Amino acid sequence: MTRPLILIVDDHPENLTIIGELLQPTYAVRAANSGERALRLAEMLPQPDLVLLDVMMPGMDGYEVLARLRGSAATAAIPVIFLTALNSSEDEERGLMLGAMDYITKPIRPSILMARVRTQIELKQARALMRDRNDWLEAEVARRLAETLRIQDVTIHALARLAETRDPETGNHLLRTQAYVRVLGRRLQDEPRFAAQIDDEFLALLAKSAPLHDIGKVGIPDNVLLKPGKLSPDEWTVMKTHAQIGADAISRAERDVAQPVPFLQIAKQIARSHHERWDGSGYPDGLAGEAIPLPARLMALADVYDALISRRVYKPPFSLERACSMILAERGRHFDPAVVDAFADCVAEFQVIAQRYADEPAHEPADDLANDP
């Protein structure tokens, strides 16, 4: 095991010799006969575990040396014991205020010196052990948190894919809409109106929650969900219940946990309200304007855009350009004007996302669109 290293600083060679001989059976020793040399040796690797520092030295005295040690990030943590013939309380207080760990008066008594050196070395080793332990604990907490988040993400996508198995033609819909809402949220983050609500945590929770937007479709009968054509009024009424079904399922999940889960709160808002319309003509609650939760307003545009460019049992896909035009035309009617403006600024990113996660290599133009749930 490597012996602790002690740096002795004193302008009298006989003091360096005496103290060095006392320490060397137990410790490795370096010696400096001036403050300038002490500062150089303190930064040399391996760095000393403790500095024994004479106060009264010509040129740079011990107080200045200590101040310089504490002022450098490389040496600030090295403990220092002052050695001095001064014995006034003012001198001792000054040294301690500057950051000295202890104060030994001359003439040196070997037993006192060795006891106080041992104490400081043990304290430094204990601090290092505690720091290493804390670093390990922080790393372990980070590892377990990352593992928990991975499990959480897998669970979310498993639930979302469960809904998707009831509606197999949606393909990469989950990945696309998740990416769309992230892009929209990041764009709105730059707007003063939204800056207080949209931070990095909100964006992370928004993206995490987005895949659950249609979880309620698990409760819709196949004859309605998979009907190849426009739904009848009665069927449309049944289809619209998926928003309530999804929100209720997430609410039950919330009640099963001891503490609030932020992403579930956002997921519930999205599941329930992403079919609301800015003009109040949506469902299930007929909310209008800013009464619609912001996450749902973002998902509303992302979901409709993706429905427009995707093949469904009741329609072929629209071209990207046609879908963009239709979204812009619904500014202030179906969609929040601010969200549409954000979309207009990010059209190129939407198109990249659509192509990256495309279900088919190309999109076919179409002239009209059936009601999309």
List the chain pLDDT tens, one digit each, 373 residues: 689 999 999 999 999 999 999 999 999 999 999 999 999 999 999 999 999 999 889 989 999 999 999 999 999 999 999 988 776 667 667 777 888 888 888 888 999 999 999 999 999 889 888 988 888 888 888 888 787 777 767 777 667 666 666 665 555 888 999 999 999 999 999 899 998 899 999 999 999 889 889 989 888 998 888 887 788 999 999 999 999 999 998 888 888 777 777 888 999 999 999 999 999 999 999 999 999 999 999 999 999 999 999 887 677 889 989 999 999 999 999 999 999 999 999 999 999 999 999 876 544 433 344 345 5
Answer yes or no: is 43 within a domain.
yes
What's the CATH code of the domain at 24? Answer: 3.40.50.2300
234 shares a domain with 116: no
93 shares a domain with 36: yes
Q: How far is CA 97 from CA 89, 113, 203, 271, 282, in A?
A: 12, 21, 47, 60, 69
Helices (H), 166-277: 173-188, 192-195, 200-209, 222-225, 233-255, 262-273
243 shares a domain with 130: no
236 shares a domain with 130: no
Eight-state DSSP code of residue 312: B
Sign, Cα dihedral of 192, 198, 203, 204: positive
182 shares a domain with 127: no
Answer yes or no: is 158 within a domain.
no
The residues near 244 (Cβ < 8 Å, ≥ 6 apart) are 216, 272, 284
237 shares a domain with 127: no
What's the CATH code of the domain at 345? Answer: 1.10.3210.10
Q: Which domain holds residue 90?
A: 5-135
Angle formed at CA 118 by CA 112 and CA 120, multiple of 5 degrees:
105
258 shares a domain with 116: no
126 shares a domain with 42: yes
Q: Are strands 50-54 and 80-84 parallel, antiparallel or unpaired?
A: parallel
Answer yes or no: is 161 within a domain.
no
Contact 47, 68 (CB under 8 A): no
Q: How many domains does the chain have?
A: 2
86 shares a domain with 181: no
Answer yes or no: is 140 within a domain.
no
